[in-house]
Each structure stands twice: as C-alpha cells, then as structure tokens.
Amino acid sequence: MVPTTLPISANGQGAFEVAEQAVRASGVEIMAHLSHMSLPVAQRTVRVSNKGGWNNIVTDVDQAAEEAILSILGGAFPDDAILAEESGSRGGTSGYSWCIDPLDGTRNFASGIPHVCVNLALSYGDRIVLGITYDPVRDEMFHAIEGGGAFLNGQSICVSEETEMRECIVGTDMGYKGDEGKMLLSMLADLWPGVQSVRMMGSAALGVAYAAAGRFEMYVHHYVQPWDIAAGLLLVREAGGIATNLQGGFGDPHSGCIVAASSAVHERFMRATEGSEWRSAQP
C-alpha cells in the first residue's frame, strides 16, 4: 500500500506535525499535575468527579488536556470533524475527522500511578489514516500512517514474533462493566497456566500500543470507546498484526471491543477461548 498523503493545515504544516504538537501540549498538562495526585486528597488542586458508571471518573486535567488539543487542531484544521471524549462531537466539511482521548488511564492518573497516555487518530471516511499514542511520562510516541508502517520515537516497530500461547503476555483491563469484568476473569482463569502472564495496567490505549510494539503478545478488551482504540487499530495493523472484535470480525473504532495480536497468536487465542461466555458478551 502506498503511504497516505495526509492533509496540509491552514498554517502550512502537515497533519502529523500538527498532531504531534497537539499530543505534546496535552502531555504538558498531564505532567504538570501528575506528581500532585500522590499527595493527600486535601492537598490536591485537581478535582476528580464521576461521569457515569460506578468507576468511570474524570478530572480537571482531562478537560484541560483536551482543550490544549482542540486549540491546536481547531486552528490548523477548522473544517475537520471532531470526536472527543470529554467535549463530544462536532461536524466538519473536509471529510476528515479527529478522534481524541486527552488522558487515557484517568483512574491511574487520579491515583498518582504514572501509566497514562494521550490518544489521537485522524480518519478519512471510514479509513484511519493517522494514529498517535503518546506516553508523556516516558516520552514515548507511538505513531502510524496508513501504508507507512508503525513507529516508536521514530524507530520501526512490529508485533511480537512469538507463536506459542504459553509464552505470551496477555494485556487486558477490567473496564466499566461489572458482569463482563467477571466473565473476563473467568476466561483468564480458563487460559491459565496456558499463557506466560497477564497484565492489567489501566490504559487500553497503551495496551494496544504495547501489542503493536511487541511488548505484549496481545491485548484484549471487552468494553472500549472509539477514542480508546482508533489510533491503536492502525498501529497494530501497520506493525504487522491484526485487530478484530471479540467474534473475530474486522475491528473498527466503534466495535466496542478489541483483540489485537499477530495473526498466529490471534488464531490460537480465538481457538482457546471459543465458546467462552466472555467472547459472546456484547459491548
């Protein structure tokens, strides 16, 4: 596939350059407050509130980080559509649409756990043409452009070459649905000890990026939003892997779930979990 030619902004910059500026600006907001979240609650200046569901929270920093992104994207691409986690959506006329998660891993952030990221994707129609997952704590930027490969800080990455399930690290997270979370734990119990280990690290976006970079052999989740996985879908595919829904169908930002791995590991995982209650759960 020939690499996609990305749009040029109103100020003459390419979409990747603008997107990089936007995620770094969001990262500055996150890092300015992350260390404060380890302080006693009475000493913190960041407000934490519930935005629906028993464990789905938002902070002032989520909103400030999103505003930093929107300020940059709005000036550079005023005709593009926007789908943002905190502020919702707006229409556009260009055919391009940005999908924004300004702070993935909010529960980690609110607890002072330094495992968070910024997720940003650009689509044209139903094609994801650019994806960035930026970890400001480690200053790690995963990015992919359609047809151009996947990269970490400018170095090419690929999914793990491991083919045996017993040697695989499986990344996952509990999500916001109690029953599905119980099903996930049951599925993992049935897999064990047929895998090397399981990691629940609190950021779906970083989990998918880690699968793209071969740090995890796979990442699975039963309840994700478009802004959680839009960038990661492109990262995994450009890194040589596949990304599907729980039933094995083509994964898109609105699938609500994800199984991301190399083709060999994906096949073995789907076979090993066939018939599980978790696999049949609808997002």
Q: Does one domain contain both 20 and 149?
A: yes
The answer on pLDDT for 157 being more than 50 is yes
The answer on pLDDT for 282 being more than 80 is no
Quote the percentage of the chain above a pLDDT of 90: 81
Q: Is the CA virtual torsion 265, 220, 228, 95 positive or negative?
A: positive
**Structural domain total, the chain:** 2
Q: Which residues pair with 219 in a beta bridge?
A: 171, 260
The answer on pLDDT for 1 being more than 50 is no
Residue 46 has a pLDDT of: 78
Tokens standing for residue 259:
């199984």
Rounded to two decimals, what is the model's pTM? Answer: 0.94
Specify the amino acid at residue 138.
Answer: R
pLDDT band at 160 (very low <50, low <70, confident <90, very high): very high
Residue 2 has a pLDDT of: 44
β pairing state of 218-221 and 169-172: parallel
49-58, 110-119, 232-241, 268-277: which range is least confident on average? 49-58
3-state secondary structure of 178: helix
Residue 278 has a pLDDT of: 94
Tokens standing for residue 87:
């502020």
Q: Does one domain contain both 211 and 110?
A: no
| 79 within some domain | yes
Q: Give me the sheet containing 150-152, strands edge to edge.
A: 88-90, 81-84, 96-104, 117-124, 127-135, 140-145, 150-152, 155-156
Burial class (CB in 10 A: 0-12, 13-18, 19+), 148: middle
Q: Does one domain contain both 125 and 67?
A: yes
Mean pLDDT of 33-60: 74
Q: Does one domain contain both 236 and 104?
A: no
